[in-house]
Chains A and B, each alone.
Chain A
């Protein structure tokens, strides 16, 4: 046979391999084919192709493997079991950039499913190889490597620590400075995943100067980048006061408030999350945010969105109001209470309702002024209703009770308290009656109103054990009114009168 014919045989084989690998890669991009491919034993076929002589076959095989592992948990485990990871990691350092991209894709696809799989990636030395990839020139390679590191670090603190120990953080911070948007996004997302676990990890990220670079990217027009930047900043600032102060010192605040009107809803959600994480630490930090007008912007945001997106905003209002009474008054003045009332009525999820109820409790419990603001928004009957409703979760009921108790102990606004006289259970009722007994002795107009609106009648109908605090309050209330009126309104008075009538002998 001539040389040409022999070489032709090899060429044919190569073409066949190439076609196989390309077709498998194309099929793997559709989810319905994955199961069939797996049953046909694609994993063991692809494994030798990854060691192929021809670089493009290697790359396409790696791509196909990555797509397969991406779709399902079992295939990712099969990749690990077939021992493909060590050779992937080994060739990561040797090959060209297309292969590196494909190999990083495979590592990412394997690591994303569970912590155990990520641990196996780490154990085969994947993290060091990926960190080496971060030093490459090609932005696509850096992006793939950063993405894989992000997925590894996402699962738990130990894995994030191993990523940090490999020295990834300075390289990621440098990636933030690159001009390519996709690379910036992925770097920000990975930093966010690293710093979310423990304060030490967040401190490491901050020590590498991440905050300044993240702060510069806040006003970038790209929405996805802003999402990741705000998410990273909020994960950093949630751990401690000093970290939150560092984030605030980067002077993001008046500018970040503008992002609350961004058309992308996740950007808005992440800005609000950042605000919440900053505000929860100290009153001074809350003061910074209130002073730059963040309160109004968040309340408008609550009005414009719905569902789970509202949760960070609601919690932020609660945290701000919890610190001191003038901050709570600032919340009230920024029209926070009507907005919270709307949220309470519109949302049906119990965790959201519990958060709203908690915030309302934090706002109303400081002084009678605050309690009056809450009562005029007609929230007390709603809170009572939620407390009494049997279908509310336990958490919701507990929060309602706590909020009601703390607000009622300061509430002196009697028209707001009256509806509560009728339906409340005895543990709430005693607080209501206690408030009445405090206010009525001093205010004659209130006494008149109390009688005419039927409150006195209701109070007489309450049965309490003698000597209990409830009975004492009832006695205190009765002592504010003349005997005849109290007797007139006591239950069964008409029978007593009729009895007297029967026994009366006209003279």
Chain B
């Protein structure tokens, strides 16, 4: 029983202790709970951190390896590209050299050819010289031709003069105007007069003048000496084998037409057709009377000749004017 009492007294202490402990525990529960939570959380955090850093390290390793891989690939690519560019530059430089040479050659040969230009300019100078010479010669030739023509014209004029003045030729009895006895030798006109052959003027006078040129002229190289010159005797220069013929009487070229008024008049003019004489039938006696009045001035000879040769033409035998 003692124990029971002890235990019963202890129960109370025990209960008290239990209550005290509970209340004590109750008091510290919050604090201890919080502390426990803190410790747990901290521990958990450490765990997680360790895990995270582990993960990070793994990630870094992966990234490191990956980056190295890609960088090396890029580098290889860059090396290839740089190599390619170097090659291209080289080729381009070589191409530029070729093009430079080619362009220089092409331009110098075809576009700005110095030697061609030089030879062209030389050619132009030579051509100019040539042309100047030729033109000088041509001018000379033309001038000579013109002088020749002038001279021939003069000569023909002189011969024509001589032809018209043939009557001034000197005779045995009486020296002519151009053959003055005080001169040492006769004037050239005198020579011309002696050479000119007088011909009664025919219708050919116009044409014949142009064939005067058989005359020995001083410088007439290019003239065809006509064989039959009607005015000049003794043409010494032309060949004497050909017989000198009279010029062919060619038809006279139609000269200026008559005035139309004249022709009209001729057509329209009333002919006076009569059987009567145009002159009066006492014409002869009247004429003789007139003459007798003028006998003192005229000689007997004139009177005689007049009376023999005078007779009137009958009017109707007269043709129209």
Q: Which residues of A contact B (CB under 8 A)?
A: 3-4, 7, 18, 54-57, 59, 96, 98, 257-258, 260-261, 263, 290-297, 300, 326, 329-330, 333-334
| Contact of B260 (CB < 8 Å), options: A59, A291, A330 | A59
Q: How many A-B residue pairs have CB under 8 A?
A: 70
Q: Which of the four size classes fits the interface of chain B?
A: 20 to 34
The distance from the CB of B107 to the nearest CB of chain A, in whole angstroms, is 15
User: Is A330's CB under 8 angstroms from B270's CB?
Assistant: no
| Contact of B128 (CB < 8 Å), options: A56, A98, A295, A326 | A295
**Distance of A30 Cα from B262 Cα, bound (Å):** 26
10 closest A-B pairs by CB = A293-B131, A296-B128, A56-B261, A261-B139, A56-B260, A293-B127, A330-B124, A55-B260, A261-B135, A334-B128
| Contact of A258 (CB < 8 Å), options: B124, B138, B260, B264 | B138
User: Is A296's CB under 8 angstroms from B132's CB?
Assistant: yes
Q: Is B11 close to A, CB under 8 A?
A: no
**Distance of A96 Cα from B138 Cα, bound (Å):** 47
User: Is A333's CB under 8 angstroms from B121's CB?
Assistant: yes
Interface of B, secondary structure class, is helix
User: Is A326's CB under 8 angstroms from B120's CB?
Assistant: yes
**Distance of A329 Cα from B146 Cα, bound (Å):** 38
The distance from the CB of A54 to the nearest CB of chain B, in whole angstroms, is 6
Q: Is B242 close to A, CB under 8 A?
A: no
User: Is A334's CB under 8 angstroms from B125's CB?
Assistant: yes
Residue of A nearest to B131 (CB): A293
Contacting residues, chain B, for A329 (C-beta < 8 A): 117, 121
Enumerate B128-164 residues with CB–CB distance to A below 8 Å: 128-132, 135-136, 138-139, 142-143, 146
**Distance of A56 Cα from B138 Cα, bound (Å):** 50
Q: Is B259 close to A, CB under 8 A?
A: yes
User: Is B131's CB under 8 angstroms from A261's CB?
Assistant: no
Contacting residues, chain B, for A56 (C-beta < 8 A): 259-261, 264
| Contact of B121 (CB < 8 Å), options: A4, A296, A300, A326 | A326
The distance from the CB of B139 to the nearest CB of chain A, in whole angstroms, is 4
Q: Is B272 close to A, CB under 8 A?
A: yes
User: Is B124's CB under 8 angstroms from A333's CB?
Assistant: yes
User: Is A260's CB under 8 angstroms from B135's CB?
Assistant: yes
Q: A290-B124, A291-B124, A330-B121 are in contact. Are A57 and B131 (CB under 8 A)?
A: no
Contacting residues, chain A, for B261 (C-beta < 8 A): 18, 54-57
Contacting residues, chain B, for A330 (C-beta < 8 A): 120-121, 124
The distance from the CB of A43 to the nearest CB of chain B, in whole angstroms, is 23
Contact with A along B283-312 (1 / 0, CB 8 A): 000000000000000000000000000000
User: Is A261's CB under 8 angstroms from B142's CB?
Assistant: yes
Residue from the set A3, A96, A293 with the largest chain B CB neighbour count within 10 Å: A293
The distance from the CB of B133 to the nearest CB of chain A, in whole angstroms, is 10
The distance from the CB of B2 to the nearest CB of chain A, in whole angstroms, is 136
Residue of B nearest to A330 (CB): B124
Residue of B nearest to A327 (CB): B124
User: Is B132's CB under 8 angstroms from A295's CB?
Assistant: no
